[in-house]
Amino acid sequence: MTLPPDPDLRPPPGTPGATAGALGRVLHLRAAGVSLVVQLHTTSTPTVLHWGADLGDLSEAALADLALSGRTARANNDLDEPQPVRLLPEQAWGWNGRPGLSGHRAGTAWSTRFAPTAALVEEGDGGGRLVLDAADAEAGLALTLELELLPSGLLRHRATLTNTGAAEYEVADLAPALPVPPVATKVLDLAGRWAKERVPQRRPLTVGAHVRENRRGRTGPDAPLVLAVGTQGFGFRTGEVWATHTAFSGNHRSSVEKLSSGTTTLAAGELLLPGEVRLASGEGYRTPWVFGAWSDEGLDGIAARFHRHLRARPHHPPRPRPVVVNTWEAVYFDLDLERLLDLARAAAQVGAERYVLDDGWFRHRRSDDAGLGDWYVDEGIWPQGLHPLVDGVRALGLEFGLWVEPEMVNPDSDLVRAHPDWVLRTGGRTPLPSRQQQVLDLGNPDAYAHVLARLDAILTEYEIAYLKWDHNRDLLEAGSGPSGRAGVHAQTLAVYRLLDELRARHPGVEIESCSSGGLRVDLEILEHTDRVWGSDCLDPLERQQIQRWTTQLVPPELIGSHVGASPSHTTHRSSDLSFRAGTALFASFGVETDLTRMDPAEREELARWVALYKEVRELLHTGTLVRADDHDPSFLVHGTVAPDGGDGLFAVVQLGTPDTSVPGRVRLPGLSPQAEYEVSAQAPGDVPAVRGGKDLPWLASGVRMNGRTLAAVGVAAPALQPQQLVLLRTRRL
């Protein structure tokens, strides 16, 4: 596994602000209200002295004193010379927690002491970066650590380990660590399951390690998403928080570890399976990027940094996010050209802009038992190919999108019958089936080339604007090739390559990352795709929570959310259209129900929601996310405020039955404190409020208040029934 040359690893010679030979310095990087102070030791990997609030301009002398002031007293029964934790924690420097590197060469070189050989620092107005080369000649290893402070105020780091010895070196784990100060006493991360992804869990931070391991071979419904530590009682709007995210879609591990000394570190990286990374002489292994976010404005401050970062990606969708109509919950596998065209006409009528043909269009795919891998248009259903449908949809003015699941195969497919060895497996047995499917071994160059060629052919033949790229099972016993060696690492990188190669060949095509709903949501998949599917659960009651927590990392414009049927197909819970549409509104909006059978009055109401989405999508997709800290779990308030504070849209959402008969005031935070706003109900999301609002005079007349008052005092909430919401618009006067 030799690493390809990485043009990103070193700034070209002559880059402004780049300084080599920075060893021995205390480096101070600043961006977006964050300071990162790093001491570059001459004998070990660096120490992060401060990651948090902006410290302003500090002189060399002040930085030296900052370093000195952190030196701790000698403790009884401890090292003669106290040692700070290094970016790559090592036993050689007294670290008795989880080591930054675990590995060995036939039982030797298991403990390292890396000494820097070169350091390169780039400093600019919006952050900067450090690239540190280090070596342990005794162990026969070289290490490169990259640490960056990005313009968003996020930091990210990764490590590259190279085997400079003669014999093979096996890497078990490589994860640099970031220290957090003792004021962080609480932990929050996310768990969840299929159709209920990203459920928060909180615990006190105690001595020991809180470790989240993922061995699913995909990001998973229960990935921590962010593993955050913070001050007592930190919430959406308040508290100091440090969070980490592993940008990787395969196995990964995140942990927060507090030693009995009190030192606490956040560490994260790829979780390597036994023998998965064995480096021959000269070969290297690079970790995924691990992100760190700090804020003293609670979880919303953390979310704002991630959103800013994602919105600054060069490939961030520049166009307004179109209204999608997806066929899955409308017709499932019951594909019929006339029916699909009727659906397209109904979609155009309500104002949809993109039509996505979901699962079932390819050979042998009459159900989810067969066909995956046979990426040829099924001649039985489509004697003229997809052309009549694609042309019909496009003639209606809609873009055409298509579902694929390229990483998967059904044993009942022509592909597996012809190439039974193209399936990930080990130990001479086929992994237990899941959704009747197995995983194509993309580490096999022939399998990779085949699936690339098939997708390329389809994208070449049809005017396809969008691929919904699905992935519907965990990877079990995912051994690659004849040896059956653990292959999740190679598989994950191959998927990224495949996505990139298709995007390079078909630059206009957008790709959605779907995985049994919302099971592949991470920052690295978003480097290769344009939207994530939030969840297979369209029930708005569940979706309110799923979206509330998915937006902790991903901005709303990148999260697909569709108006489904009532009752919901996953929970069988019924809900008003206004609750379903008002929930999908705060995302990348779509519809996924049989519009041809919808009551005409309801279809008209839906068209009004589509029109509202088109009116407010720029606000929602460029604005700042606001999640109020709610005192009553039966309701929640969230919204978006325009970057200039001039406009805001909030949803007051009644989830369940409140304990009190009269709803109190709800606070609307996040607006410009001094600015004066007109607050009014936003149609068509005002309907429940009108129904229950005869006693709410301010809503009928509108009210004028400044941003500070709206945040600190708020307005009387309308009396809503469970599963109703009302939209409030705040316009600056």
Question: Which of 470, 530, 539, 647 is the catalytic position?
Answer: 470
Stretch that binds ligand DGJ, among 125-133, 511-519, 666-674, 719-727 (CB under 6 A): 511-519
Question: x/- binding map, residues 531-570, to ligand DGJ, per CB under 6 A?
Answer: --x--x----------------------------------
Candidates 146, 189, 359, 629: give the one binding ligand DGJ (CB under 6 A): 359
Cite the annotated binding site by residue number: 194, 358-359, 435, 468-472, 514, 536
Contact residues for 399 (Cβ-Cβ < 8 A; gap 6+): 322, 353, 354, 355, 393, 465, 466
The stretch among 381-389, 442-450, 512-520, 679-687 that binds ligand DGJ (CB under 6 A) is: 512-520
Q: Closer to ligand DGJ by CB, 156 or 198: give it.
A: 198
472 belongs to the binding site for ligand DGJ (CB under 6 A): yes
Return the number of the residue (331 or 341) whose C-beta is nearest ligand DGJ. Answer: 331
Could you give the CA distance from residue 21 to residue 27 in angstroms, rounded to a whole number?
12
> What is the SS3 string spanning 595-624?
HHHCCHHHHHHHHHHHHHHHHHHHHHHHCE
Catalytic status, residue 647: no
Question: Considering beta carbons, is residue 516 or 575 the nearer one to ligand DGJ?
Answer: 516
Alpha-carbon distances, residue 91 vs 99, 141, 258 (angstroms):
7, 16, 16
**Quick one: which segment of 125-133, 510-518, 634-642, 649-657 binds ligand DGJ (CB under 6 A)?**
510-518
Residue 517 interacting with ligand DGJ (CB under 6 A): yes
- Bind-site residues for substrate: 194, 358-359, 435, 468-472, 514, 536
Q: Which of residues 659-698 bind ligand DGJ (CB under 6 A)?
A: none
Please write down the HEC assignment for all residues of 65-90.
HHHHHCCCCCCCCCCCCCCCCCCCCC
Beta carbons within 10 angstroms of residue 629's beta carbon = 18
Out of 173, 374, 530, 536, the active site residue is 536
Token pair, residue 432, equals: 């237990």
Residue nearest to ligand DGJ (CB): 359
* Identity of the residue, 468 or 617, whose beta carbon is nearer to ligand DGJ in the bound complex: 468
- Work out how close the CB of 367 gets to ligand DGJ at its nearest, in angstroms, rounded to a whole number: 10
| 635 near ligand DGJ, rule: CB under 6 A | no
Is there a contact between 303 and 566 (Cβ–Cβ < 8 Å)? no
Rounded-to-integer distance, Cα 572 and Cα 511, Å: 30
Does 480 interact with ligand DGJ (rule: CB under 6 A)?
no
**In the complex, minimum distance from the CB of residue 621 to ligand DGJ, in angstroms, rounded to a whole number:** 22
Task: Return the ∠ at Cα 466 (arms to 639 and 585), rounded to 5°.
Answer: 20
Give dist(CA 302, CA 126) in Å, integer: 17
- Shortest gap between Cβ of 433 and ligand DGJ (angstroms)? 15
Q: Quote the CA–CA distance of 258 and 265 in Å, as a whole number.
A: 7
Number of shown-chain residues binding ligand DGJ (CB under 6 A): 12
Which of 379, 434, 382 has its CA nearest to residue 408? 434
247 versus 357: smaller Cβ distance to ligand DGJ: 357
Nearer to ligand DGJ, 295 or 568 (CB): 568
Question: To which residue do tokens 């308040």 refer?
Answer: 238
Residue 289 contacts ligand DGJ per CB under 6 A:
no
Nearer to ligand DGJ among residue 43 and residue 367 (C-beta): 367
407 part of the interface to ligand DGJ, by CB under 6 A: no
Contact 53, 64 (CB under 8 A): no
Q: How far from 283 is each of 136, 144, 164, 334, 484, CA to CA, in Å?
A: 16, 13, 8, 51, 21
If one asks whether residue 294 binds ligand DGJ (CB under 6 A), the answer comes out as no
536 counts as catalytic: yes
- Whole-angstrom distance, CA of residue 244 vs CA of residue 254: 8
Which of positions 319-358 make contact with ligand DGJ (CB under 6 A)?
328, 358
Position 408 contacts ligand DGJ (CB under 6 A): no
- The position carrying tokens 């921590």 is 224
DSSP state of 370: S
Q: Is 578 in the site for ligand DGJ (CB under 6 A)?
A: no
Q: Does residue 433 have a cis bond before it (omega within 30 degrees)? A: no
Q: Give me the residues that bind ligand DGJ (CB under 6 A), please.
A: 328, 358-359, 368, 403, 470, 472, 514, 516-517, 533, 536
Catalytic residue numbers read 470, 536
